Structure 1
Amino acid sequence: MGKVAKQSIQTTIFSYLGVVIGYVNVLWLYPYALDASQLGAFRTIQDLGLLFVPFAQLGVGHGITRFFPQLKSNQSAFLSYGLVFSMVGFALVSAIFLGFRTQIIDLFAVNSPEVLDFFGVVLLITLFALLSSILDAYSRSFVKVAVPTLFREVFLRLLTGVLVGAYLLKWISFPQVMQGLVAVYGLAFLGVLVYLLWLGVLKFDFRWNTFPKGFRTSFVQFSLVTFLATAASTLIMKIDSIMVSSMISLEANAIYTIAFSMAMVIELPRRAISQVVMPVIADHFAKGNLEEINTLYKQISNRQLYICLLLFLGVWANLDAIYYFIPNREIYESGKYVVVLIGLGKLLDVVFSVNGEILVFSNHYRFNLIATIGMSVLIVALNYLLIPLYGIEGAALASVAVMFLFNFVKYLFLRIKLGFDPFSKETLKIIFVGVITYSPTLAGSFTLSPIPNIIITSLLILGFYWFWSGILGVGTEEWAWIKNRIKKSGS
């Protein structure tokens, strides 16, 4: 675990730098520069483009991570093969999108007609995001995750902010902002491309007959099976925003998007750890080290829960003060309950650890496909049921329900088939620390101005969290690492 934690530090730093930029963008710049309908269109077009990426990828990203350890050479040919395979997928997705364009238009024509003017941008966003994801997977196989994270989390958000800032300064029109998204995603892809060239690992070799016997067949079969699971998983993550736009309005999606973005900060440690741990899990499976995987499963669950629970408490306790800084907050603060609900869903995702990653790289990866497709159908059904009843809170409730069921099903499967279990007594201790930490904060409500309020509340939460952690003996590794960082910075 120490190796994984060390490798994830840079990724975590870049991820949180991206969060800072993202918070400035989402909580201040976007609501200030764009009206609610423009912000809704801005997010809906990007969500549509990113929704198509796993369908176009055809599972190549996970295929590269799983099969890379089996190759001692021919990595360049493997990359070329994966890129060609994914471009076939992109061609298929493009044909389906254009073929059903009329039906897709009908989904948005009544409640969100503004989206229709920018449908041409969708496939170009898909193309560049697809190419970036393949290069990310290839870089991850060399355990080079930090710089691709920099481009994905920091560079992309920074350029998007510059684009909207240019509109605020009246240098460009809103249609040009939407068209500029293509350049933003294209430059992020170019950055990862140049980085891999600089590392000297990006070479194109089309001698595919050099692969071991049966390698291509196994790779294609695995990729095609996992692509449906990955696509369905992305559908679970993106469909709520798209359905809010089509069933309510773009303004409602803007409110939902801002609330969802606040909650997303809670799961960032999980995303950083997952990026590093995927090739480690794939390597352990290749070597048959099942006990090491189970140990990793528990350690990651506790570490993620400990960190993410603290972040959740901080966001929840400071929610009113955070909304205070959002321009036109009287419009957007109606999304408070969405923040809490999605945040709870993310905690459920965190506590069940890396069950999805384990399933993908195990011999039971087909079950992940079945479970994910089932849950994607369920999320669509629940959104259709709950959005008309509860609005954007209905979309959040649907997401929480599916996150829990999805993780619980995978947990039961891994427990029965492999004997893996991410839970321990420490899990209960961490949850108890979180509950007892938040109680004093609920008891005292400060009437100070927002910034002092945030500072005092955050310090109280941090202090109580640290105190009860010490009493119950949890989080010792995390606090030891923080102390070491402070000592080194002071020396």
Structure 2
Amino acid sequence: MGKVAKQSIQTTIFSYLGVVIGYVNVLWLYPYALDASELGTFRTIQDIGLLFVPFAQLGVGHGITRFFPQLKSNQSAFLSYGLALSMAGFAVVSAIFLGFRTQIINLFAVNSPEVIDFFGVILLITLFALLSSILDAYSRSFVKVAVPTLVREVFLRLLTGVLVGAYLLKWISFQQVMQGLVLVYGLAFLGVLIYLLWLGVLKFDFRWNTFPKGFRTSFLQFSLITFLATAASTLIMKIDSIMVSSMISLEANAIYTIAFSMALVIELPRRAISQVVMPVIADHFAKENLEEINALYKQISNRQLYICLLLFVGICANLDALYYFIPNREIYEAGKHVVVLIGLGKLFDVVFSVNSEILVFSKHYRFNLIATIGMSVLIVGLNYLLIPIYGIEGAALASVAVMFLFNFVKYLFLKIRLGFDPFSRDTLKIIFVGVTAFGPGYFNPFSLSPIPNILVTSLLVLGLYLFWSKLLGVGNEEWKWVKNKIKKSGS
């Protein structure tokens, strides 16, 4: 347990450090060093490359994590087998991409022709990100997660920051920046590779006939099911940015990307809670403690909603002041409504609680796959419908609609099949508290410079939030939880 605890602490530290570096990059360095068209190209090429990764991986990463404990030996052969499958998947993805090259060029030719010049970069990003993901999964199987997290969350973001910084200093051209992305992702892969070599666990063995009987069939079935769900989830996360580039412009995607990144702050507590609660849910299902799962379902919904709603209100109340610190803000302020809409969508994820986690660990896990694939198709259709009418706000509306429907469908399924319900009277009370705390953002009588304005507005929001929480008797457990987390991180 000592090693696991140490790995968990280090992984948490590296993850949050990566978040800080990522936000410095996205909200300051990139818009300062790159013009909107360049930033749109920079993000679009990476988004397309990373979108291809789960399709090329064929679910092998999750399959390695799931089936590794079943092998007392032959782990090296298992790694070789997984890498071979992934490379076959990459070959298929590359063939499809190159085979439909003309059609793909036509998608970007009118509104974002700059993207076409870097199609080769896309496939190389996919290749190195794919190989890194497989080695990540293999390292995770040895309960060695901290260093791969450091490489993925910190090292990769630092290198992209250095790359853009070199362009800012006029040491390299923008074309070299884009080509440099291949080097960045290649070095990230090399970092994990060297770490596994240093651990002495990276060996290659092609004696695949030594696997237990039926092992490969079970592994392939699980991997392909996971592949469909993961690919659909990635499509939901990445497709709006890519479609904004192809249907509007690269500048529009730059504006959308900045706004989307600001809204993502709202769901950070949800991610932390989700990671902690997954093994608890799995354990309850193993013991058939359904009542405990339902109680946890409600508790987490209220806890997430209370914390994340406060973040949402705080960001919306300070939106003008926050945009003040973004370089070339006169361009990027057009994304204010996107921040609000995406933030609202994240709140839907929050209030519907851990429905995905419950489905994954239940006997109904295949329903999550069906729902995810259905929603990925829906978001593409909604983007085609709404982007021509409402622009980047249309892409945000499509995301909000899909987030709500995705969660509502899973809610109904869990309600009907298992009798689970995350909502209670406290849910309405918390929503009321959030609505009343919106006031300072619209009726702030002070005319202050940005930093004092953020401080005053945030204090007013927090004061109202706490006042109504105390009056309605909500939030006590949530504040205790926050204090405990602060104490643990400081000890």
TM over 0.5: yes
Q: Determine if the alignment matches structure 1 residue 127 to structure 2 residue 127.
A: yes
- Give the % identical residues: 89
Q: Which residue is equivalent to 2:404?
A: 404
Unaligned runs of 5+ in 2: none
Q: Determine if the alignment matches structure 1 residue 314 to structure 2 residue 285.
A: no
* 1:408 Cα deviation from its structure 2 partner: 1.1
Q: Which residue is equivalent to 2:384?
A: 384
Distance 1:268 1:143, change over 3 A: farther
Q: Determine if the alignment matches structure 1 residue 437 to structure 2 residue 437.
A: yes
Letter in 1 for 2:457: T
* 1:200 Cα deviation from its structure 2 partner: 5.9
> Structure 2: how far apart are the matches of 1:241 and 1:185?
21
Query: Any conservation in 1 of the 2:440–2:457 contact (CA below 8 Å)?
Result: no
Name which of structure 1's ranges 244-253 and 275-284 shifts more when overlaid on structure 2: 275-284
Name which of structure 1's ranges 174-183 and 16-25 shifts more when overlaid on structure 2: 16-25
> Structure 1: how far apart are the matches of 2:197 and 2:297?
34
Matching of residues 86-485 of structure 1 within 5 Å = 86-141=86-141, 145-196=145-196, 204-275=204-275, 277-278=277-278, 281=281, 293-480=293-480, 482-483=482-483
Secondary structure, aligned partner of 2:437: helix
TM-score by length of structure 1 reads: 0.89
> Structure 2: how far apart are the matches of 1:348 and 1:6?
33
Name which of structure 1's ranges 366-375 and 343-352 shifts more when overlaid on structure 2: 366-375
* 1:412 Cα deviation from its structure 2 partner: 1.7
Secondary structure, aligned partner of 2:419: coil
Query: Any conservation in 2 of the 1:140–1:275 contact (CA below 8 Å)?
Result: no
Letter in 2 for 1:256: Y
> Structure 1: how far apart are the matches of 2:485 and 2:381?
48
Name which of structure 1's ranges 235-244 and 198-207 shifts more when overlaid on structure 2: 198-207
Name which of structure 1's ranges 109-118 and 457-466 shifts more when overlaid on structure 2: 457-466
Deviations 1:189-217 (A, max 9, x none): 33334445556665555454554443321
TM-score by length of structure 2 reads: 0.89
* 1:446 Cα deviation from its structure 2 partner: 3.2
Distance 1:346 1:246, change over 3 A: same
Letter in 2 for 1:345: G
* 1:79 Cα deviation from its structure 2 partner: 3.8
Deviations 1:241-298 (A, max 9, x none): 1111111111111111111111112122333444455566556656666555545544
Distance 1:398 1:488, change over 3 A: closer
Deviations 1:308-349 (A, max 9, x none): 222222211111011111222111101100000001111111
* 1:230 Cα deviation from its structure 2 partner: 1.5
* 1:10 Cα deviation from its structure 2 partner: 5.4
Letter in 2 for 1:116: I
Query: Any conservation in 2 of the 1:143–1:276 contact (CA below 8 Å)?
Result: no
Letter in 2 for 1:328: N
* 1:169 Cα deviation from its structure 2 partner: 0.3
* 1:457 Cα deviation from its structure 2 partner: 1.9
Query: Any conservation in 2 of the 1:379–1:398 contact (CA below 8 Å)?
Result: yes
Distance 1:138 1:316, change over 3 A: farther
Distance 1:102 1:303, change over 3 A: same
Distance 1:484 1:156, change over 3 A: same
Name which of structure 1's ranges 457-466 and 161-170 shifts more when overlaid on structure 2: 457-466
Letter in 1 for 2:464: F
Letter in 2 for 1:103: Q
Deviations 1:106-141 (A, max 9, x none): 100111111111111001111222223333444455
* 1:433 Cα deviation from its structure 2 partner: 2.9
The count of residues paired between Structure 1 and Structure 2 equals 488
Distance 1:57 1:358, change over 3 A: farther
Distance 1:248 1:403, change over 3 A: same
> Structure 2: how far apart are the matches of 1:302 and 1:181?
41
Deviations 1:89-119 (A, max 9, x none): 1111111111111111110011111111111
> Structure 1: how far apart are the matches of 2:75 and 2:354?
27
Q: Which residue is equivalent to 2:38?
A: 38
Name which of structure 1's ranges 133-142 and 402-411 shifts more when overlaid on structure 2: 133-142
Query: Any conservation in 2 of the 1:12–1:268 contact (CA below 8 Å)?
Result: no
Secondary structure, aligned partner of 1:52: helix
Name which of structure 1's ranges 263-272 and 210-219 shifts more when overlaid on structure 2: 210-219
Name which of structure 1's ranges 349-358 and 325-334 shifts more when overlaid on structure 2: 349-358
Unaligned runs of 5+ in 1: none
Deviations 1:341-393 (A, max 9, x none): 00111111122233233333443333222222221111111111111111110
Secondary structure, aligned partner of 1:446: coil
Name which of structure 1's ranges 388-397 and 227-236 shifts more when overlaid on structure 2: 227-236
Name which of structure 1's ranges 278-287 and 261-270 shifts more when overlaid on structure 2: 278-287
Letter in 2 for 1:229: A
> Structure 2: how far apart are the matches of 1:5 and 1:424?
34
Query: Any conservation in 1 of the 2:40–2:245 contact (CA below 8 Å)?
Result: yes
Letter in 2 for 1:186: G
Q: Which residue is equivalent to 1:64?
A: 64
> Structure 2: how far apart are the matches of 1:6 and 1:440?
42
* 1:36 Cα deviation from its structure 2 partner: 1.0
> Structure 2: how far apart are the matches of 1:15 and 1:386?
35
